[in-house]
Structure 1
Amino acid sequence: MTGERAGHLDRERHMQSYDVVVLGSGGAGLVAALAAASKGMTVGVFEKSALIGGTTAISGGGIWIPNNHVMAASGFMDNEADAHIYLDRLTHGETSPDLLRQFVKTGPEMLRFLETHSDLRFFSVDRPDYHPGWAGARNGRSVEPLPFEPGMEAGLFETLRYSTLRQPATSTESRKGLSADIIADRQRRNIRTQGSGLVAGLAQACAKAGVRFHVSNPATGLTFYGQRCTGVETANGCVSAKVGVILATGGFEWNEDMVSAFLPGFTSAPTTPPGNNGDGLRFGLEAGAAIANMTEAWWTAAYRIPGEELDGMPLTRNMVRELALPGSIMVNSRGERFVNEASSYNDLGMSFNIFDPGAFSYINRPAWLIFDNAFKNRYAVASIPPTQPAPNWMHTAASLTELANKLSISAEGLRATIDRFNGYALDGHDQDFSRGEDVHGLYYGDPEITPNPCLGVISEGPFYAVEVAPGNNGTKGGLKTTTHGQVIRHDGSIIGGLYACGNVAASIFGKGYPGHGGSLGPIMTAAYATGMNLGAGGIG
């Protein structure tokens, strides 16, 4: 369908012209488009898939922003100095100080902008930073959208990507439980939460601001006049950008060649939509852009249920809470634990990339979540509720030895590991990895279990195992940019008219992940700064 009013979808094939062209419709692309439109720019958002929202739409929707007004209103104290102390340790001095300063200073401004220019409202999530023992760490820096009831035209609403894996509940409501009546009422009213709520609010605000969306319209390249980017070539024709082109196309985690080149030895199991093939990264490289942080991703532990798909590709899910709950462990082929299972998913995910030169292999691949019948009957595991029998893909055995043989892992190693772990559970202290001994680990524990809510014995057969894959929530490496979002060449010069934000740009956090929403926080802030810059006429 083709709409005549701003915000409608447009699938006509003809030469078009905008002040600003945005490639990609995830959180970064939508924020950049809204910021530019708020300054009077005409903006076109071009999305290669049939759905708007990208990875953001299926995410938890958390946004990590230090010293923001939402956390202050909830009684959480913070300041810029402590944020810098925390981030300096997180980034190991590998990130431009200018980019870090911009993030800390501009992030709160971005959040206020969203509440002013959209119907989104946010709440502060009562959870700690992922390294709560570090100097400068705080509670409440993560914010999340309140449940959002869309009020947009049906055509636009129908194009919004929606995660069928999440109930219409905030992360806080999901942990505490939400009544079936409330869930049914929200579903009837099309209320969106978490990442899908964030995308719905941003898309609605963009439409009201005059932004036009072009779905199922992939870009095939950039156009230049001399050394300046002047537009894009798309499947439906050429599009001129009078002020600038913003690349917000996501990462490269679904591009096998790029994964092989930049993440050697890593078998990718992305939790993201399959459209993240590194298109924008390729466009930037062809234009001579510099790149950074290419060996990093937003790592996670993940699992796959046979037969499940997303956009025609295998669906990968994050594994988080069942790793921290009492009565489970994760082991490698030696039957040994190798990480604090209750640590942040990014830090835990990095443990899959450890290479043992003696064995000449990645010793923690594959890995297995091991638990017993008591755990199975108490908690949901890999999306299977306690009331549901174990499916065929969940390995089951009457004894630990039988289970180890089924998994082709060391039975002796597994028995020794569980004996050792059971002693820790009774004592309440994990002598190997300190699981459940900081407030972050306890966040996903079971408060009814003592003395340690993250430790429980594994003793009641039958025993179970689920394969844990080295997954990622997107890649962190990408194009180098300035604080204005301009794409930089290897010699430090600017590629005129070309901008980047989101996972197509190099992450300012390097290897690290500061807290819940640590990916969306900086990319939305950078997108806001980029859009506002173009709204002022652009630089370069």
Structure 2
Amino acid sequence: MNLSNADLAIAQAREFDIVVIGSGGAGLMSALAAARAGARVLLVEKSSLLGGTTAISGGQIWLPGNPHMEDLGRNDDRYATLAYLRQVTLGSVPEQYLEAFADAAPGVVTFIESATDLRLFAVDRPDYHAEWPGACDGRSLEPLPFTHVNPAGYPSVRRSRYRRPVTSVESRQNSAADLADQREKNGQLTQGAALVAALVEACAKAGVEIIANARFHDFSFSDGRISGVRISDMDGGVERAIQAHAVILACGGFEWNTTLTKAFFGTVPQLPVSPPFNEGDGLLAGLCVGAQLANMGESWWTAAIQIPGEAEDGQAAARNVVRELALPGSIMVNRAGHRFANEASSYNDLGKAFLRFDPKSCTYPNDKAWLVFDSNFKRRYNVLTVSKNQPPPDWFIQADSPALLAKRIGVSPVDLQHTVAAFNDQARHGVDQQFGRGDSRHDQFYGDIEHKPNACLAPLDVAPFYAVPISLGNLGTKGGLATSLEGAVLDREGNAIAGLFACGNVAASWMGLGYPGAGGSLGPILTAALLCGREIVRSIGFQDLNAV
């Protein structure tokens, strides 16, 4: 239900075992786990729609050892998983968290497929660092299409403004558009929206109560422990105290709070690629009760663009840029006209390249970038929202030569000409000697496998030439409240704050500095959320549904 004073009064009069703040994947997962064990759960959502960042995501879930790997003929190994994760996280995550994730990950699939009507499939793709010891194909899962019927009295599920209802596999097929048209008529969802919709329906069946358009303010206390929350409508009207045995913060990160992002990430401009409600509410509330922070210098980074006219909840919206950077015939250059990274590398690793500081010039030379391509690329591939058959829009900057294009985008014509010429020479030989683009199996997955000799390399040599601006994008922050393995928020001495739990991007990520594969944010988040929900119901005396 959407919030009114009457709704608040009703909620205030009710007794709840658990209040969950936030309705993304973490909030829904923890709420469902607790409610299925018999707990009375209230979920509070800040916006008018359910699903948060999860709902607009690709919905892939990185879960090593998942049972669907067998469908691809793959066998995983716990020791291999841990070896791979140790290298990915660069020692930034304590071993016990990596072990807890590796041990619990397969059970997340079992829980989702038994507690909801959703089915998952293993995507035949490599980990992001496929050549490293312990890497394995098939660890990334994705929802199959899901027919959604919104539960009576529940707010609607958020949908992506640009993801159509096809799976990642189907999106590469020529029939994808027709398939998406049919599914939209039938109310079928895919990707992150399918995952959220299935969790929402399961929450309704389990008796979870949800109120939307509600602002979380702070906690209430009783006998030295957190015993509830104070919330109001979004206009900040009358505040009401909702009592509960425990509170789960699952209200997202702080990528939309510019004060916090500048404090923790510095001055490089970044575009939030998430709904505009992730403002650090849970982080700030946790700090007020003495919570410890961890991993605060990290986010789920990406290259991103803000296309004119696109908006999300009344705010200018950005989208991440992935495949355009890996397909043959494009490059990305910085404000000097130089390439500065392997454009086809994983988007999180690529995003870190935008943050490089140059001590000689005392600048961040990669803080502004351009995707540059030629008319051959434009004819072969869709570019962001522009299909290969459409004329170039006004926001495509174009010119008849790299030198003229450089003048139009404000970079050195000599340097851009040299960059393009050097890249073209290497592309014709199929080897990127500067950054190794196309060398890894991950690069090739996003490239054009029909293009030889390198799926990610082709010269830019046919006029006109095009450029679109690219910025550092933030899919969600992954530093936040430090938690125990069971999700209890820890104080500055490392002790649990009684009655307070956290999961999702409001909590410090179990992936630390790294990103293991597609779904490497959502997989650990859902795992931690499941463990969190189960731990709370155990602590307050409900049955253990560990096998469900």
What TM-score results when the alignment is normalised by the length of structure 2? 0.95
Correspondence for 1:334 among 315, 327, 336: 336
**Residue from 121, 145, 148 that aligns with 1:147:** 145
Please, which of 75, 80, 103 is the counterpart of residue 77 of structure 1? 75
Query: 1:334 and 1:129 mapped to 2: Cα distance?
Result: 32
Aligned to 1:11: 7
Structure 1: where are the runs of 5+ without partners? 4-9
1:290 is aligned with what amino acid? Q
Q: Determine the C-alpha separation between the residues in 2 that align with 1:278 and 1:331.
A: 32
The answer to whether the 8 A contact 2:310-2:316 is kept is yes
Letter in 2 for 1:248: A
Q: For the Cα contact (< 8 Å) 1:18–1:239, is it kept in 2? A: no
Q: Do residues 211 (structure 1) and 208 (structure 2) align? A: yes
Q: Which residue of 1 aligns with 2:544?
A: none
Distance 1:370 1:179 in 2: 27
Q: d(CA) in 2 for partners of 1:520 and 1:32? A: 13
- 1:73 Cα deviation (Å)? 3.4
Supply the distance in 1 between the matched residues of 2:148 and 2:451 (Cα, whole angstroms): 40
* Alpha carbons 2:167, 2:191 under 8 Å: kept: yes
- Aligned partner of 2:25 in structure 1 is 27
CA distance in 2 between counterparts of 1:261 and 1:427 reads 45
What whole-Å deviation, never above 9, does each CA across 1:416-443 have from its counterpart, x for those lacking one? 1111111111111110111111110000
Equivalence for 2:167? 170
Give the Å deviation of 1:180: 4.1
Question: Structure 1 2/128 Cα, relative in aligned 2: closer, same or farther at 3 Å?
Answer: closer
CA distance in 2, matches of 1:87, 1:176: 33
User: How many residue pairs end up in the alignment?
Assistant: 533
Cα separation, 2, equivalents of 1:2 and 1:161: 14
The aligned residue for residue 191 of structure 1 is 188
Q: Secondary structure at the match of 2:189?
A: coil
Deviation of 1:184 after TM superposition, in Å, equals 2.2
Render the CA deviation track for 1:24-83: whole Å, top value 9, x for unaligned. Answer: 000000000000011100101000100000000000000001011121233211011100
Paired AA for residue 332 in structure 2: M
- 1:100 corresponds to which residue? 98
Code of the residue aligned with 1:256 in structure 2: it is T
Residues 289-317 of structure 1 show CA distances to partners (whole Å, capped at 9, x for unaligned) of: 00011111000000011221111111101
- 1:200 pairs with 173, 197, 200, which one? 197
RMSD: 1.6
Shift of 1:385: 0.8
Report whether the alignment pairs 1:231 with 2:228: yes
Is the 2:80–2:133 Cα contact (8 Å) retained in structure 1? yes
Deviation at 1:101, TM superposition (A): 1.0
**Distance in structure 1 (CA, Å) of the matches to 2:174 and 2:289:** 50
Q: Percent identity?
A: 48
Cα displacement (A) at 1:179? 4.4
Distance 2:316 2:461 in 1: 34
User: d(CA) in 2 for partners of 1:169 and 1:382?
Assistant: 17
CA distance in 2, matches of 1:88, 1:500: 24
Task: Check conservation: 2:228, 2:245, Cα contact below 8 A.
Answer: no
> Deviation at 1:12?
4.2
Equivalent position of 2:422 in the other structure: 420
Q: What is the CA–CA distance in structure 2 between the aligned matches of 1:424 and 1:280, rounded to whole Å? A: 49
Partner of 1:45: 43
Q: Distance in 2 between matches of 1:122 and 1:239?
A: 39
Paired residue type of 2:344: A
Counterpart CA distance in 1 for 2:397 and 2:360 is: 30
Distance 2:524 2:230 in 1: 29
Equivalence for 1:322: 324
The answer to whether the 8 Å contact 1:231/1:238 transfers is no
Q: If the length of structure 1 is used for normalisation, what is the TM-score? A: 0.96
Q: Is the 8 A contact 1:19 1:243 kept in 2?
A: yes
The 8 Å contact of residues 2 and 211 in structure 2, kept in 1 or not, is answered as no
CA distance in 2, matches of 1:538, 1:107: 24
Q: 1:392 aligned to 388, 391, 394, which one?
A: 394
Change (3 A) 1:290 1:35: same
